[in-house]
Amino acid sequence: MFETNSSRSVKAFAFVLGLLSLFALIVTAWVLLNVRHEQAIVARLVSHLQGSDLEVAGELSSELGLQRSLSFLLVLNVIAAGIAFSLVLRGYFSSERNLQDVKVLSTDILASMDAGVMTTDMEGRITSLNIRGEELLGSSYTGLIQTIEGLGSEHALLASICRELLEHHQPIRDRDYQILRQGHRKTYRAGCTILRNRQKEEVGMVIHVRDVTEKAFMEERLRRMERYVGLGSLAAGLQHEIKNPLNALSLHIQLLCESLPQEFRTADINETLEILNTEVKRISEVLDGFRNYASIDEIRHAPVDVANLIEKLIRLLRPDAENKKVTIEFQCDENSTTQIIADGAKLEQVLLNLALNAVAAMPDGGTLRFHLACDLEMLEIQISDTGNGIPPEIRNQIFNPYFTTRKDGIGMGLAICEKIVRQHDGRIDFQTETTGTTFTIQLPVDQGH
């Protein structure tokens, strides 16, 4: 991955040369010591010889006079050893610099990545975490012993995929989970692979996490838009094949009610006629709801003052809310732009539906709150109630068509609300507890026509 072969070869060459020079130096010094010892012995022998033998002893002494040559050779070896040692030091420091450069480069690469990268040992203890990982996971790596489980319950999926990886030893990819950040739901996509050293030994795990909130939003939007494909023609067919006969049936029921003499109208007959009228009306509402949900009408873009829209809605709701002991509050952040480009009629339909649902969620009274905030790009509308919240088992279904828990509902209200919000390139989400529910709508301030 990183170029370090040249520095390693220089270091190896210098090290071998240093060893050879040191060996030659030791051998030369050993030979020099032996020669000096022999010369000392010859000098003692010469001191005891007669004059006739001195000439022969001198020749022997000259043959052993290698000290000067060996001393020169020793000096050369010392110089060579010094050069070799300097090369070893140079190779060492060069290797250290390259290693430091590799570390800095790898750190820069990890810090520049858009994904969070975390490494652990085989026991799940965190050994490194890049800057993006600290931002996504809300945790910083301090070097202290910390496990994946210590990241919190909202990141429990990471510990789960690590256990799965250790069990099957197969890379894990694209596992999504959601967390809450500053009141907004975020979607993270995680994966995990085995970390191996140069000997192919398993030494830990590499976990990567990405924020795919926008991508998941677009994928979900695409899946929902696919539901609308073909529904328009189906809705038109239902309107023609069912709604027209239904209108005729409703008209004849009305004529029957008007023409039937009072003396023949018993309690059973009146109840039957009422049931017929109610069911015909209900079927008509179901067809109208399906048509509205399946239609792909274009949004009529125009300037809309959302604050005025909410105030108008409050005036409309207040009489019924007071009868049900529900207090209505409206808060708008100061210096917030309340005007956006949107379809005012459809936006009013969304707010009215959410407000009516909130009032219905407080049968014993409570508080209905509207909160409006805006920045340069997005306008946020919050509609809160103080009811009992949405049960956990149905939270994933409330935006599905025809899903309802109310006896008098057809289950199309929230589905249509979500469709309208997404047609405005916005998003709708909710937070719910046992003390109440808050629906949050985010809409772009300026949409293209």
Could you write out the DSSP letters of every residue in 395-434? Answer: TTTTTSTT--SSTT--S-HHHHHHHHHHHTT-EEEEEEET
Q: Which CATH superfamily is domain 302-444 in?
A: Histidine kinase-like ATPase, C-terminal domain (3.30.565.10)
Q: For all residues of the chain together, what is the average pLDDT?
A: 78
pLDDT-derived band at 314, boundaries 50, 70, 90: very high
For residues 432 and 365, the answer to whether their CB atoms sit within 8 Å is: no
The better pLDDT of the pair 86, 206 is held by: 206
Check pLDDT > 60 for residue 37: yes
Name residue, tokens 């696919």.
226
The type of residue at 136 is: L
Q: Which residue has the higher pLDDT, 195 or 142?
A: 195
2 — pLDDT class (breaks 50, 70, 90): very low
Partner residues linked to 207 by β-bridges: 118, 192
pLDDT band at 371 (very low <50, low <70, confident <90, very high): very high
pLDDT at residue 369, rounded to an integer: 94
| Percent of the chain predicted with pLDDT > 70 | 73
pLDDT of 229 = 58
- Find the mean pLDDT for residues 424-446: 88
Query: What pLDDT does 418 receive?
Result: 86
Confirm whether 113-211 and 302-444 share one CATH topology: no
Residue 14 binned pLDDT confidence (cut-offs 50, 70, 90): low
Residue 337: pLDDT band with limits 50, 70, 90: confident
Paired tokens of 176: 């999504």
Q: β-strands 202-211, 427-433: how paired? A: unpaired
Per-residue pLDDT at 63:
54
For domain 113-211, is the CATH number 3.30.450.20?
A: yes
Tens digit of each residue's pLDDT (9 = 90 or more) over 258-270: 787 777 778 888 8
Tell me what pLDDT residue 140 has.
58
Least confident of 1-5, 122-126, 233-237, 273-277: 1-5
Please say whether the beta carbons of 329 and 370 come within 8 A: yes
Regarding beta strands 172-181 and 326-332, do their DSSP bridges make them parallel or antiparallel, or are they unpaired? unpaired
| pLDDT of 3 above 50 | no
Q: Which range has the worst mean pLDDT, 173-187, 202-216, 300-314? A: 173-187
Range in 257-266, 291-300, 380-389 with the lowest mean pLDDT: 291-300
Amino acid 354: pLDDT: 93
Lowest mean pLDDT: which of 76-85, 184-193, 332-341, 432-441? 76-85
Q: How confident is the model at residue 1 (pLDDT cuts 50, 70, 90)?
A: very low
Helices and strands (H and E) in the chain: how many: 12, 12
Domain ranges within the chain, ordered by starting residue: 5-111, 113-211, 222-294, 302-444
pLDDT of 233 strictly over 70: no
Q: 254 or 110, which is more confident?
A: 254
Name the pLDDT band for 449 (thresholds 50, 70, 90). Answer: very low
In angstroms, what CA-CA distances link 407 with 299, 354, 400, 404? 32, 17, 17, 8
Answer yes or no: is pLDDT of 70 > 80. Answer: no
**Listed range (5-19, 40-54, 178-192) with the worst mean pLDDT:** 5-19
pLDDT band at 355 (very low <50, low <70, confident <90, very high): very high
- Does the pLDDT of residue 326 top 60, yes or no? yes
| Residue 148 tokens, joined | 């994946």
CA angle 345, 350, 351 (to 5 degrees): 95
14 or 401, greater pLDDT: 401
